Amino acid sequence: MPSALIADDEPNLSAELASRLTRFWPELQIVAMPRDGVDTLAQINEKRPDFAFLDIRMPGIDGLKVAQLAAGVRVVFVTAYDAHAVEAFETSAIDYLLKPVTDERLLRCIARLQRHGVPTADAAALAASLAADTSPIRWLTVGVKDTTKLVSIDDVLFFQATDKYTEAVTVDQRHLIRTPLKELLPRLDRDRFTQVHRGVIVAYASIDRIERDLLGRMRIHLIGHDAVLPVSRAYASLFKQM
């Protein structure tokens, strides 16, 4: 029976990935879910899993270093950051999943693992292939205390950058996700969402009206929500009168 380890410093995300892997690949046994790099190495050495799903940014030792030190395990990186793709494949990673991971992308990863494929030597080409994964996100995975919640992309009015996270705002809630806006935007349906400010992405369907103040600054008023969103000059042309 194939076995896997899932390493992430966010236990809700580990639990959610474990649940999806079990649903899509019932034969796969999840043997450990460590939360830092040191424990991940120890668990790999003790449990000897066939596969390790590693976050890159973990306390102690990061996922890239774990992959370099771990022997006899096939590595899949699961991260919100695409900047490490080439370096990841140079550690002989089999796959590199960008959070939030769609069901379609996870299924393709599982198919690759089941084929026992080995990574190609052309790390740059593999990293470039990430850009071809343009399936629009349909669900967001968010942590709520000790549980994991799925939020439909249809319910999101806008995304707003904060100091460390991104807020996905619905009519009655604000959910924190770890994917930066610049990495989130390419994975949204561009017919439904648009960036209007360096720190704001808005759903077209949520816009009630756009107002301009005495200084010419544009502000978006939403349907069913009291937030007022700024429109920077770089994006003002989106709302020019036809």
Give Cβ neighbours of residue 53 (< 8 Å, ≥ 6 apart).
Answer: 4, 5, 6, 7, 8, 17, 21, 76, 77, 78
DSSP E strand boundaries for 108-173: 139-144, 147-152, 158-161, 166-169
**CB contact at 8 A, 103 and 81:** no
- pLDDT of the residue at 145: 61
Taking the model in full, what pTM does it have? 0.56
Residue 43 has pLDDT above 70, yes or no: yes
The more confident residue out of 238 and 226 is 226
- Residue appearing with tokens 């994991």: 148
d(Cα 184, Cα 179) in Å, to the nearest integer? 6
Average pLDDT over residues 26-36: 94
Cα angle 184, 162, 85; round to 5: 40
Residue 58 has pLDDT above 90, yes or no: no
Per-residue pLDDT tens over the stretch 2-24: 999 999 988 888 999 999 999 99
In the structure, what pLDDT confidence band is assigned to residue 118 with cuts at 50, 70 and 90? very low
- pLDDT of the residue at 196: 95
The more confident residue out of 82 and 33 is 33
Query: How many CB atoms neighbour CB 195 within 10 A?
Result: 20
d(Cα 78, Cα 182) in Å, to the nearest integer? 17
Domain boundaries, the chain: 3-132, 139-239
d(Cα 43, Cα 234) in Å, to the nearest integer? 49
Average pLDDT over residues 159-179: 88
d(Cα 69, Cα 63) in Å, to the nearest integer? 10
- Residue appearing with tokens 């790999």: 44
The CATH class, in words, for 139-239 is mainly beta
Residue 144 has pLDDT above 70, yes or no: no
Q: What is the mean pLDDT of the chain?
A: 83
**In 181-229, which ranges are continuous DSSP H helix?**
181-184
d(Cα 21, Cα 113) in Å, to the nearest integer? 12
Q: Which CATH number fits domain 3-132: 3.60.15.10, 3.40.50.720, 3.90.700.10, 3.40.50.2300?
A: 3.40.50.2300
d(Cα 33, Cα 39) in Å, to the nearest integer? 9
Residue 207 has pLDDT above 70, yes or no: yes
d(Cα 132, Cα 124) in Å, to the nearest integer? 14
Distance between alpha carbon 132 and the CA centroid of its chain, in Å? 15
Residue 226 has pLDDT above 70, yes or no: yes
Residue 129 has pLDDT above 70, yes or no: no
